[in-house]
């Protein structure tokens, strides 16, 4: 097996600092103190691949797009593609000065070089934007692609559930199928408009339990929102801090509480008022009190409770809160299990197991986080 590995080093940077994405927002994300997410995700995938399939032949891309991580995992690259050559983007060699700024074109060049080398699989680290670029470079080819999820939003059905799962799929798959590559307009997304658009169709390795399906719509949530809002009001005056996650389901709860939810953002509520709106990770941590509850809803079709679309709810936030999961019955009918991918494998393991999900004003359903 010959795998071409390419990483978008800025993927997911905008999430924890409340930007809901990184397209066109890299400098703002850095100014807000954002830290790169993709390198750690790539490292986890490559270390797992080295453990389960050390004989794999790996080609990769010059830093900051993967080379060092591939070498650190124990692979000697068959080839290191330099997509920066000749375009004036390169800073220094990655050992002390400014790294080159990466673009979609660099990703496409790298994948094109992988095709020339005859790779069997392109393993990419990024989000839907990166998936779109990889798919464009693979158009007309039957070489499959597989994503290590590192973006803020992951609507495409070309990603594994976790970095480790991506390595398992890469090492063991025996068939592929055509799957959709989706992306959204991030500026519209920041205003609360979510309209995934088909950007391509690609061959993807198949391992049903280790990959996420495309997002689907959920059912109505009026009764659910009414019931949860009543419970929140019943605790007013007790100093309980409610961290209300993004999405239409929790948005209905916010509306029932009497305030306009921030567009697909995280809002913090305590004793009858909003104490932080469209909050970043640090703002959420600053707003927490002695007793805290985070209210989240899984993504329809995928089942992710944490790790997709809500990176502001970081491991540090989650560890300070009791977790309440809410979902319509229709949404749960579309998922076999719930999932978490917090960037903290220990926390993922702690969250795993059977949980009670609120599905109505009074009703609950048992679901398993796997």
Query: Do 206 and 318 have their domain in common?
Result: no
Q: Do 233 and 103 sit in the same domain of this protein? A: no
Do 92 and 196 belong together in one domain?
A: yes
Is 146 domain-assigned?
Answer: yes
Q: Is 71 inside a domain boundary?
A: yes
Over range 96-103, report the average pLDDT.
Answer: 65
Could you tell me if 200 and 231 lie in one domain? no
The answer to whether residue 217 is domain-embedded is no
Local confidence band at 264 (pLDDT 50, 70, 90 cut-offs)? confident
Is the pLDDT at 91 greater than 90, yes or no?
no
Residue 137 lies in a domain: yes
Torsion sign over Cα 250, 165, 108, 68 = positive
* Predicted local confidence at residue 301, as pLDDT: 79
Residue 322, domain CATH: 3.40.50
| Cα–Cα distance for residue pair 32/18, rounded to 1 Å | 9
Q: Are residues 75 and 107 in the same domain?
A: yes
What stretches of the chain adopt beta strand conformation (E)? Answer: 2-7, 57-61, 80-81, 121-126, 145-149, 176-183, 197-205, 241-244, 267-270, 273-276, 292-296, 304-306, 322-326, 339-340, 353-358, 364-369
25 has pLDDT over 90:
no
pLDDT tens sequence across 153-172:
677 889 998 999 999 999 99
Shared domain check, 237 and 149: no
Q: Is 9 part of any domain?
A: yes
Element counts in the chain: helices (H) and strands (E):
13, 16
Same domain, 195 and 238: no
pLDDT category of residue 262 using cuts at 50, 70 and 90: confident
Q: Does 98 lie in the same domain as 40?
A: yes
Nearby residues of 341 by Cβ (< 8 Å), 6 or more positions away = 149, 161, 162, 304, 306, 307, 308, 348
Domain-embedded: residue 312: yes
Of 165, 184, 210, the one marking the end of a domain is: 210
Confidence of residue 186 (pLDDT cuts 50, 70, 90): low
Sign of CA dihedral 325, 326, 329, 335: negative
Q: Using an 8 Å Cβ cutoff, are 45 and 146 in contact? A: no
When the pLDDT of each residue in the chain is averaged and rounded to a whole number, the result is 86
Q: Is residue 216 part of a domain?
A: no
Of residues 60 and 151, the one with the higher pLDDT is 60
In which domain, by residue range, is 165 found?
A: 2-210
Of 180, 210, 240, which residue constitutes the final position of a domain? 210
CATH number of the domain at 7, please: 3.40.50.10330
- Judged by average pLDDT, the poorest of 23-37, 85-99, 142-156, 304-318 is 85-99
Q: DSSP label at 209?
A: G
- Rounded Cα–Cα distance for residues 99 and 277 (Å): 35
pLDDT the model gives residue 193: 57
Distance, in Å, from the CA atom of 100 to the CA atom of 150, rounded to the nearest integer, reads 20
Cβ partners under 8 Å of residue 130, min gap 6:
8, 11, 107, 124, 147, 151
Mean pLDDT across the stretch 112-124? 97
Burial of 134 (0-12, 13-18, 19+ CB in 10 A): buried
Q: Which of 210, 242, 269 is the last residue of a domain?
A: 210
Residue 219: is its pLDDT beyond 60? no
Residue 234 pLDDT > 90, yes or no?
yes
Q: Are the C-beta atoms of 202 and 135 separated by less than 8 Å?
A: yes
Among the ranges given (43-57, 151-165, 240-254, 312-326), the one the predictor scored with the smallest mean pLDDT: 151-165
244 and 299 within one domain: yes
* In a shared domain, residues 357 and 251: yes
| 116 and 246 assigned to the same domain | no
Tokens 């993807």 correspond to 204
Residue 88 within any structural domain of the chain: yes
Please check whether residues 147 and 31 belong to one and the same domain: yes
Average pLDDT over residues 259-281: 92
What is the domain count for the chain?
A: 2
CB atoms within 10 A of CB 52: 13
């Amino acid at each position: 097996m010959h795998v071409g590995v390419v990483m978008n080093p800025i993927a997911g940077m905008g999430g924890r600092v409340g930007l809901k994405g990184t397209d066109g927002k890299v400098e703002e994300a850095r100014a807000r103190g954002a830290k790169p997410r993709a390198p750690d995700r790539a490292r986890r995938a490559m270390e797992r691949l080295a453990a389960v399939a050390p004989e794999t032949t790996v080609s990769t891309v010059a830093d900051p797009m993967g080379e060092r991580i591939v070498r650190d995992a124990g692979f000697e690259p068959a080839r290191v593609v330099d997509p920066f050559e000749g375009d004036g983007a390169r800073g220094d060699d990655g050992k002390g000065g400014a790294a080159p700024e990466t673009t979609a074109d660099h990703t496409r060049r790298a994948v094109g070089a992988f095709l020339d080398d005859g790779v069997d699989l392109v393993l990419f680290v990024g989000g839907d934007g990166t998936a779109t670029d990889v798919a464009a470079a693979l158009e007309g080819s039957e070489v499959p692609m597989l994503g290590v999820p590192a973006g803020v939003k992951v609507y495409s059905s070309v990603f594994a559930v976790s970095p480790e799962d991506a390595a398992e799929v890469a090492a063991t798959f025996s068939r592929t199928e055509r799957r959709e590559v989706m992306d959204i307009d991030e500026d519209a997304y920041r205003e609360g408009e979510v309209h995934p658009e088909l950007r391509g169709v690609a061959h993807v390795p198949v391992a049903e339990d280790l990959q996420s399906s495309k997002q689907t719509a959920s059912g109505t949530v009026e009764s659910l929102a009414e019931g949860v809002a009543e419970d929140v009001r019943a605790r007013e005056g007790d100093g309980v801090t409610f961290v209300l996650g993004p999405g239409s389901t929790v948005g209905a709860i916010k509306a029932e509480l009497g305030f306009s939810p921030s567009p697909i953002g995280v809002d913090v509520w305590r004793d009858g008022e909003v104490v932080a709106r469209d909050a970043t990770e640090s703002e959420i941590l600053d707003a927490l009190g002695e007793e805290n509850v985070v209210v989240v809803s899984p993504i329809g079709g995928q089942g992710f409770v944490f790790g997709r679309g809500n990176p502001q709810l970081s491991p540090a936030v989650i560890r300070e809160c009791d977790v309440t999961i809410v979902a319509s019955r229709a949404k749960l009918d579309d998922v076999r299990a719930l999932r978490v991918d917090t960037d903290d494998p220990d926390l993922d393991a702690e969250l795993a197991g059977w949980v009670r999900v609120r599905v109505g004003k009074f009703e609950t359903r048992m679901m398993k986080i796997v």
